[in-house]
Amino acid sequence: MSKEIYLDGNATTCVLPAAIDAAVQAMRDCFGNPSSTHATGLKAKAMMDSVRQRAKRLLGVGSGRIMFNSGATEGIQTAVLSALCALRERRERGDAIGSLLVYGATEHKAVPEALAHWNRLLGLNLELKKLPVGGDGRHDLQALRALAPQAAFVCTMAANNETGVVSDLAGIAAALQESQALWMVDCVQGLGKLALDLGSTRIDYAPFSGHKLYAPKGIGMLYVREGAPYTPLVMGGGQEAGLRSGTENMAGIAALGAVLAALEQGDTFRTPAELHGFREKLAASLRAAFPGIVFNAPFEQALPTTLNFSVPGLSSKELLDVFDAANVRVSAGSACSAAKAAPSYVLDAMGLPHWRSSSAVRMSFGPLASADTIDEACARIERCGHALRAAGLLDTPAGGASAPEGVLQLSLGGNHTWLLLDAPSRQCIVIDPQPELAERIDSLLRSHGYQPPLRLSTRNGAGWPDAGDIRAFGAHTVQRVALEGGQHAYLLCSGAQVDYAFTGLAALAALEGKVPADALVCAGREEVNACCTSLRAEAQAAAANSDMHLDSIALAHLLEAHPQAVLVDVREAYEQAACIPGGRAAQSVPLSRLAAFVPAWLGAADQPPLVFFCRSGNRSAKAAHCLRRLGYRNAYHLSGGIALASPALALAA
């Protein structure tokens, strides 16, 4: 298995070796409770105090307070609770407090959610007001100036987690100059990447999170300006000078201390110039691999460690899958479910077109990145571009890639479009084309020299060009069959034999008598059937499937007991092509091509065990189910996919 390249630093980072050592040392040698008055406790307290002092020095906060907590979500709650409690007290005293809780439109969800929660619980009922951002992702300062007189509390961020856009904190401070509003700045993505001299600003609260900069998860800190109102979120034993009760996470504090020490000493992390150089290299490789790529935030105003981009014609899921196959970890710039990507609210707020906000990918690295890792990432990016071109998913064809042929399924949101491809004559039929896939299909056919396709509908039979119901298709024929209610099925035949029936949304019962019992039925929706089935298979009781799911141990046993077993990789061709070669030999049958291979498997005399695998186990389960339904008892799949497979199996990834 090739080495993982982790480019998702804005989600979380690995832990700095010195931080691991510091945590281990804190657990082994300095395990005292810092509230204990004996020597063991004093030693722990001294360690904790030294980390606090270091944080204060680094952040330039001489007189303010730094308290340790569990992370930025807690820090944000504490800041919001503190500000809102103070506003309620002021209002009860009869002071004017303003009517608005203003937050940047691109804030992390923790901010508006916390504002809404505590506003409701405290009965403040102030108005939550989204502060717009411009096309460059920066806060609209003119809008802020207009809101400032009515603002009670303002929440902005130092740098955005999706785009890396760096806020104009000086501009925000100037816009708030005349305002009484309290101000929180979420500094999570800024630590170690921006100079944060908090003591010289009027910022009241600044939350931080350890795991975004090489400390472990579960440790964070909150800066509170001297004189800023404060209400503890957690009450109890009075730890952290009564500001945050609960025995401190000493291992986390020690680890965070090691990261802060590395920042202070300045010889561990890459310089800004080096980080800018890394971004240039990655951007150049991305441009070469994905012509037409657009970057979603201007580089000049963004952290050099974050690249957010969209590629015309490619969904974020496809890009994530191909990068994951190449062992490059990136994330969707938007929340992404298996079938449909939800657009990114950050990119929507910047006014970017829908296609960009719904297909964005974020590539982010930390200041510990090495030149070797970036070079290897560039090589793999190019590999991914090549794999997608070979699969016809990018408009520029890859020379030498063989043309797809036979039956191909393209799915979107649970709907299936089927392509019938006759490579010798370069003819194609598209059954139930979905408009969202039009560009994809055109590009696939164009890049492999296919003629413009015939587009047929199963809903109403539209698209059939002749008067008759049978037409030639290369060495095959295609037949149109009318079903009830104006629906149609299309049969792909070899001579007198019906190989496939494409049935759209028709219930399987509606096919009785119209479609031969053994023809492979390819439906138009996932609910009817994920891959393919046959009327005979459906009529027979479903085979017992309880032994179908294999974990990696069960798979190892099966392979040992049955050396003739066939491993089948059902990931898409571009994911397989993006893999670094090596690992156990496997037959390549993307799920979209499964129907094309089923007849040969069903027809094999010996029917060896077929073990399907994919990235996470979803697609392979569909494939194994499909084969079992069709009567292939020896079909299995790897639960959890290669993401969870033991390295001993060495599946290609």
Q: Which residues would be at the binding site for ligand PLP (CB under 6 A)?
A: 71-73, 108, 110, 157, 161, 186, 188-189, 209, 220
Residue closer to ligand PLP by CB (options 111, 577) is 111
How far from chain centre, in Å, is Cα 262?
30
Residues in the chain: 653
Residue closer to ligand PLP by CB (options 189, 592) is 189
Strands 520-523 and 549-550, sheet pairing: unpaired
- Annotated catalytic residue within 336, 493, 522, 626: 336
What's the min distance (Å) between Cβ of 202 and ligand PLP? 21
SS3 assignment, position 275:
helix
Token readout for 579 is 């893999």
What's the min distance (Å) between Cβ of 209 and ligand PLP? 3
What's the min distance (Å) between Cβ of 161 and ligand PLP? 3
Residue closer to ligand PLP by CB (options 76, 567) is 76
Residue closer to ligand PLP by CB (options 47, 206) is 206
Strands 220-224 and 205-209, sheet pairing: antiparallel
Q: How many CB atoms lie within 10 A of CB 110?
A: 20
What's the min distance (Å) between Cβ of 31 and ligand PLP? 25
187 a catalytic residue = no
Residue closer to ligand PLP by CB (options 249, 411) is 249
Closest residue to ligand PLP using C-beta atoms: 71
At position 365, the amino acid (one-letter code) is: F
Residue closer to ligand PLP by CB (options 163, 576) is 163
| Per-position DSSP letters for 536-600, written without gaps between them | HHHHSPPPP-TT-EE-HHHHHHHHHH-TT-EEEE-S-HHHHHHSPS-SS--EE--GGGHHHHHHH
What's the min distance (Å) between Cβ of 139 and ligand PLP? 14
Element (H, E) at 79: helix 72-93
Token readout for 4 is 């993982």
150-174 burial, b at 16+ Cβ within 10 Å, e below that, comes to: bbbbbbbbbbbbbbbbbbebeebee
Residue closer to ligand PLP by CB (options 252, 433) is 252
Strands 415-422 and 427-431, sheet pairing: antiparallel
What's the min distance (Å) between Cβ of 81 and ligand PLP? 15
Report yes or no: 366 and 360 within 8 Å, Cβ to Cβ.
no
SS3 assignment, position 108:
coil
| Per-position DSSP letters for 283-348, written without gaps between them | HHHHHHHSTT-EESS-GGGB-TTEEEEE-TT--HHHHHHHHHHTTEE-EESS-B-SS-BPPPHHHH
Whole-angstrom distance, CA of residue 613 vs CA of residue 621? 8
Active site positions, annotated: 336
